[in-house]
């Protein structure tokens, strides 16, 4: 895996996830907010995305829908990371194309487990 992208409007959360991913041996970078995430996704094809759901502007659900409609992004695995531990949020994320669902704050173990699912 060469290109892991973290999209989150919280710099602290995104940077923490990137540090954990790098410690686990995965090259990763963060972009802050949905607009920045959409810009990157229009130009690049990451190997894996960790995506916040609740962001100002375009929601993570909308980003998931966008990715599923784009042929070059449709098969990129996406793990949703959110503080909303609600069954309906999880169902919607999976319905929109997420591969998995992580609850914030995301632990090293949860990230490692998600990566092993691939």
Q: Where do we find the tokens 């972009």?
A: 31
Structural domain that includes position 42: 4-116
- Backbone phi, psi, residue 60, to 5°: -60, -35
The predicted structure's pLDDT at residue 57: 93
Distance of alpha carbon 39 from alpha carbon 23, whole angstroms: 27
Q: How many domains does the chain have?
A: 1
pLDDT score at 17? 95
- pLDDT (tens, 9 = 90+) of the chain, 118 residues, equals 689 999 999 999 999 999 999 999 999 999 999 999 999 999 999 999 999 999 999 999 999 999 999 999 999 999 999 988 889 999 999 999 999 999 999 999 999 999 998 8
pLDDT at 2 (0 to 100): 83
Nearest to 17 by CA among 91, 115, 117, 118: 115
Whichever domain contains 79, its CATH number is: 3.40.50.2300
Would you tell me how many other CB atoms lie within 10 Å of the CB of residue 85?
Answer: 10
Say what the pLDDT of residue 117 is: 85
Residue 65, CA distances (Å) to 45, 95, 109, 116 in order: 15, 9, 28, 24
């Amino acid at each position: 895996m060469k290109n892991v992208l973290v999209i989150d409007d919280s710099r602290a959360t995104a940077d923490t996830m990137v540090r954990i991913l790098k410690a686990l041996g995965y090259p990763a970078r963060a972009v802050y907010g949905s607009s920045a995430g959409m810009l990157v996704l229009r130009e690049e094809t990451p190997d894996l995305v960790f995506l916040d759901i609740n962001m100002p502007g375009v929601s993570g659900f909308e980003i998931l829908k966008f990715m599923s409609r784009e042929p070059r992004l449709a098969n990129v695995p996406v793990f949703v990371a959110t503080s909303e531990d609600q069954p309906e949020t999880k169902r919607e994320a999976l319905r929109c194309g997420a591969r998995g669902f992580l609850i914030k704050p995301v632990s090293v173990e949860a990230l490692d487990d998600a990566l092993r699912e691939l």
